[in-house]
């Protein structure tokens, strides 16, 4: 079972449950060569590893080691009690041209030695493989995955996505897995791309795979062992990584950092405070015996890798992963080219972007193409209509909220697009910080905004209410919720809107981020004026009673959902009879909601059977 706790872009903080414990994603699985241990597996947990990966084919082909693994199992022989994933020999087939094992036999062997995640023997599609051959290899890989799924006996199966550099074949392979009983999906055949710094092509390979895979299963970027690629890969939806680079680089006296690799002899000082770098100077380490030096460097390389994973976790948790990746990819021109190319996928990533963040930094023209800004411009164009005369003013550097200009029917020039004054408190419009010559921004983006003739809304609070509601919910839903005579309550201290009443019904409360929380009265108006599943999450009877009491919605009880729902969007929880049970905010998209089997998927705020909250100023 895979459970998502938090997301940013396609990145996911989650938990993947296996027989021997939990993998907290994103995470790194150190590669263990069972025939040559540089670091003892029992030390990996101390360094931050939830699990590890080893090669079942290497074990199978070693007469000296195979019997011990068959008799005692992976976890006992390796002295590691956490999740262990095994590879099948596909990479060895890539390197040597073939492997002497049948697909069914390697699956049986992985089960026999107790692998938590067994990988099928897929066909490694090289970047230069002809398209016709790639199609045939994808067909065979999918066939093997289907056979493995039918023979699954409780343990997780990893089925890699193949397809060379052809996005349509990657997508075809990924879609073929959707209805199979599979649990993990590595992106295979990508090591040659990373070895040759072909990161732009890697983006297309990964994105065409991820966007077509079942979202309820973790993904794995095979062979992505260098920390400099972790951030970009996580942003594209990768949950698992494996690394043999920590050991291979150490054997060659190479030392890894988040920004690149250096040979030990090139360093005059260690820019690091890990155990290795605190104990030795580069010169002292060069003087150590080869085995001592290799272990010390391997420990540093793993420490650096896990530190990067921790930094990525924090970036996802605080909603700053896009900024983190922009910074990390600037360390190498080919990586930065990949980041820029990823932005060409923004229109397809937009639905996974959270509705709100606490802030956003824009430092150059590239950043304004991030999915959140693409969504802002799209909604501004499609959902917001302004009436009457409006003044367009040049925004000073900073955010709109920092600018103390006349704010009545004003539209700000801004790098991300036009910002009407009534949207200057929502994300991203009022929470994005910019720098640089503003004159350079004017041609950067489509700045269209619809202004019609007609009587404007004179009251600035009502104008803000109607504009934000149209932007957030769409004009049809906004009109349903706000039908009738409006009464708007503002804070006596700040002047900001707190609650909105329509014909006496408390329909909306304004959050600290400038968006609205939907109240039960507003939800009932939407339910009465639309057909299911519009803005709804439909739950079974077992869940409905709990939700009406104000308890959260769990994945296993979801029957259906509005596919148009985004991440952290307001939603109505209804039972099978379309009766309103509660209101809350989504954790997943509407397309994902019915597919997950574990975890909270809607955070319920108000249930119809729960006492009303005393604090009408809702949460961020």
- Read off the pLDDT of residues 498-537 as tens digits, 9 standing for 90 and up: 999 999 999 999 998 999 999 999 999 999 999 999 999 9
Residue 454: exposure state from Cβ atoms within 10 A (0-12, 13-18, ≥19): exposed
Q: What's the chain's average pLDDT?
A: 91
52 DSSP β-pair partners: 84
Residue 405 has pLDDT above 80, yes or no: no
Residue 395 has pLDDT above 80, yes or no: no
Residue 444 has pLDDT above 80, yes or no: no
SS3 sequence, 281-324?
A: CHHHHHCCCHHHHHHHHHHHHHHHHHHHHHHHHHHHHHCCHHHH
Cα angle, residue 124 at apex, residues 118 and 126 outer, rounded to 5° = 155
Give the list of residues 6+ apart from residue 97 with CB closer than 8 angstroms, or none.
none
Please tell me the predicted confidence (pLDDT) of residue 362: 77
The active-site residue out of 8, 87, 424, 505 is 87
Helices 333-342 and 199-210: angle between axes, nearest 10 degrees: 30
227 DSSP β-pair partners: none
Please tell me the predicted confidence (pLDDT) of residue 618: 47
Computed on alpha carbons and rounded to an integer, the radius of gyration of the chain in Å comes to 27
At residue 437, the 3 state secondary structure works out as coil
Higher pLDDT, 602 or 405: 602
How far is the CA of 178 from the CAs of 146, 149, 161, 211, 265, in angstroms?
Answer: 11, 12, 12, 12, 49
Give the list of residues 6+ apart from residue 304 with CB closer than 8 angstroms, or none.
227, 256, 257, 258, 272, 274
As a whole number of angstroms, the distance between CA 324 and CA 312 comes to: 8
What average pLDDT does range 55-61 have in this prediction?
Answer: 93
CA neighbours within 13 Å on the CB side: how many for 348?
13
591 DSSP β-pair partners: none
* H/E element, 27: strand 27-32
Q: pLDDT band at 400, cuts 50/70/90?
A: low
**Percentage of the residues of the chain whose pLDDT score is greater than 70:** 94
At residue 266, the 3 state secondary structure works out as helix
575 DSSP β-pair partners: none
As a whole number of angstroms, the distance between CA 52 and CA 33 comes to: 11
As a whole number of angstroms, the distance between CA 433 and CA 400 comes to: 9
28 DSSP β-pair partners: 241
Residue 15 has pLDDT above 90, yes or no: yes
As a whole number of angstroms, the distance between CA 543 and CA 602 comes to: 12
Please tell me the predicted confidence (pLDDT) of residue 38: 87
Q: What is the pLDDT of residues 530-558, one digit of tens each?
A: 999 999 999 999 999 999 999 999 999 99
Please tell me the predicted confidence (pLDDT) of residue 367: 87
Query: In which residue are the tokens 């923004």 written?
Result: 346
What average pLDDT does range 434-438 have in this prediction?
Answer: 57
182 in Cβ contact with 173 (< 8 Å): no
Q: What is the pLDDT of residues 142-195, one digit of tens each?
A: 999 999 999 887 889 999 999 999 999 999 999 999 999 999 999 999 999 999
What average pLDDT does range 110-138 have in this prediction?
Answer: 95
What average pLDDT does range 442-456 have in this prediction?
Answer: 74
β strands within 239-294, DSSP E: 240-243, 254-257, 260-263
Please tell me the predicted confidence (pLDDT) of residue 403: 52
194 in Cβ contact with 209 (< 8 Å): no
Q: What is the pLDDT of residues 193-233, one digit of tens each?
A: 999 999 999 999 999 999 999 999 999 999 898 999 999 99
Catalytic (active site) residue 87: yes
Give the list of residues 6+ apart from residue 590 with CB closer than 8 angstroms, or none.
533, 537, 561, 562, 563, 564, 565, 566
CA neighbours within 13 Å on the CB side: how many for 173?
38
How far is the CA of 236 from the CAs of 208, 239, 322, 587, 616, in angstroms?
Answer: 10, 9, 11, 18, 37
Give the list of residues 6+ apart from residue 230 with CB closer than 8 angstroms, or none.
26, 28, 224, 241, 305, 308, 309, 312
Please tell me the predicted confidence (pLDDT) of residue 458: 85
Query: In which residue are the tokens 């051959």 written?
Result: 133
222 in Cβ contact with 240 (< 8 Å): no
Please tell me the predicted confidence (pLDDT) of residue 455: 81
Residue 277 token pair: 């770098």
Higher pLDDT, 359 or 548: 548
Q: Which own/partner contact pairs does 401-407 have at CB distance under 8 Å and 24+ positions apart?
A: 401/425, 401/430, 401/431, 407/460
274 in Cβ contact with 248 (< 8 Å): no
Q: pLDDT band at 614, cuts 50/70/90?
A: very low
Please tell me the predicted confidence (pLDDT) of residue 441: 55
Q: CA nearest 467: which of 589, 380, 553?
A: 380
Residue 384: DSSP 8-state: -
Residue 260 has pLDDT above 50, yes or no: yes
What average pLDDT does range 572-593 have in this prediction?
Answer: 96
Q: pLDDT band at 393, cuts 50/70/90?
A: confident
607 in Cβ contact with 592 (< 8 Å): no
Residue 83 has pLDDT above 60, yes or no: yes
Please tell me the predicted confidence (pLDDT) of residue 406: 56
Residue 225 token pair: 């062992």
Backbone dihedral region for residue 223 (phi beyond 0: left; psi -120 to 50: alpha; all else: beta): left
Please tell me the predicted confidence (pLDDT) of residue 42: 85
Q: What is the pLDDT of residues 25-41, one digit of tens each?
A: 999 999 998 888 888 88
Q: What's this model's pTM, rounded to 2 decimal places?
A: 0.92
Give the list of residues 6+ apart from residue 135 with CB closer than 8 angstroms, or none.
169
Q: CA nearest 218: which of 351, 29, 20?
A: 29
Residue 234 token pair: 């996580």
CA 558, 564, 566, 571 torsion-angle sign? negative
Please tell me the predicted confidence (pLDDT) of residue 615: 43
Domains along the sequence of the chain with CATH: 2-250 (3.20.20.105), 353-452 (no CATH), 460-607 (2.30.130.10)
219 in Cβ contact with 210 (< 8 Å): yes
At residue 571, the 3 state secondary structure works out as strand
94 in Cβ contact with 121 (< 8 Å): no
């Amino acid at each position: 079972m895979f459970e998502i706790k938090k997301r940013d872009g396609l990145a996911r903080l989650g938990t993947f449950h296996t027989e021997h414990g939990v993998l907290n994603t994103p995470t790194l699985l150190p590669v263990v060569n069972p025939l040559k241990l540089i670091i003892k597996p029992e030390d990996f947990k101390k360094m931050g590893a939830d699990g590890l990966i080893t090669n079942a084919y290497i074990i199978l082909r070693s007469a000296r080691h195979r019997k011990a693994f068959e008799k005692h199992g992976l976890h006992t022989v390796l002295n590691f009690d956490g999740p262990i994933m095994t590879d099948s020999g596909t990479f060895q087939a890539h390197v040597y041209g073939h492997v002497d094992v049948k697909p069914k036999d390697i699956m049986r062997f992985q089960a026999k030695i107790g692998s938590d995640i067994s990988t099928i023997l897929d066909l490694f599609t090289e970047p230069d493989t002809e398209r016709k051959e790639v199609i045939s290899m994808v067909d065979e890989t999918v066939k093997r995955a289907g056979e493995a799924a039918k023979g699954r006996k409780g343990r997780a199966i990893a089925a890699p996505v193949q397809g060379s550099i052809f996005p349509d074949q990657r997508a075809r392979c990924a879609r073929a897995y959707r209805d199979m009983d599979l649990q993990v999906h590595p992106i295979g055949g990508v090591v040659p791309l990373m070895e040759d710094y072909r990161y732009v092509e890697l983006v297309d390979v990964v994105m065409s795979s991820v966007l077509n895979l079942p979202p309820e299963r973790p993904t794995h970027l095979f062979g992505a062992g260098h920390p400099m690629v972790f951030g970009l890969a996580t942003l594209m939806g990768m949950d698992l990584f494996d690394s043999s680079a920590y050991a291979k680089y150490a054997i060659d006296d190479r030392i890894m950092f988040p920004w690149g690799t250096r040979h030990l002899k090139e360093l005059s000082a260690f820019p690091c405070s890990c155990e290795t770098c605190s104990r030795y100077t580069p010169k002292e380490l060069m003087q150590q015996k080869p085995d001592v030096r290799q272990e010390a460097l391997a420990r540093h390389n793993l420490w650096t890798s896990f530190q990067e994973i921790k930094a990525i976790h924090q970036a996802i948790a605080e909603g700053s992963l896009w900024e983190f990746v922009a910074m990390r990819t600037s360390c190498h021109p080919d990586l930065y080219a990949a980041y820029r190319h990823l932005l060409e996928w923004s229109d397809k990533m937009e639905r996974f972007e959270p509705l709100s963040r606490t802030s956003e930094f824009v430092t150059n023209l590239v950043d304004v193409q991030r999915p959140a800004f693409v969504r802002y411009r799209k909604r501004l164009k499609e959902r917001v209509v302004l009436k009457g005369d409006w003044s367009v003013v040049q925004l000073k550097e900073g955010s709109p909220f920092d600018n103390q200009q006349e704010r009545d029917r004003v539209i700000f020039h801004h790098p991300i697009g036009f910002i009407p004054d009534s949207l200057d408190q929502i994300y991203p419009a009022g929470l994005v910080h910019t720098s640089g010559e503003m004159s350079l921004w004017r041609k950067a983006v489509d700045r269209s905004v619809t202004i019609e003739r007609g009587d404007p809304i004179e009251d600035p609070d009502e104008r803000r209410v109607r504009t934000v509601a149209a932007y957030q919910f769409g004009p049809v839903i906004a009109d349903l919720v706000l039908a009738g005579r409006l009464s708007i309550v503002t804070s006596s201290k700040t002047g900001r809107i707190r609650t909105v009443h329509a014909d006496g019904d408390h329909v909306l409360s304004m959050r600290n981020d400038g968006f609205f929380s939907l109240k039960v009265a507003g939800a009932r108006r939407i339910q009465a004026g639309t057909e299911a599943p519009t803005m709804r999450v439909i739950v079974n009877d077992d869940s409905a009673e709990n939700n009406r009491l104000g308890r959260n919605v769990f994945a296993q009880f979801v029957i259906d959902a509005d596919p148009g729902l985004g991440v952290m969007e307001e939603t109505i929880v209804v039972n099978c009879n379309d009766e309103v049970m509660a209101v809350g905010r989504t954790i997943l998209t509407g397309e994902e909601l019915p597919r997950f089997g574990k975890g909270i998927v809607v955070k319920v705020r108000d249930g119809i059977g729960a006492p009303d909250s005393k604090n009408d100023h809702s949460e961020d």
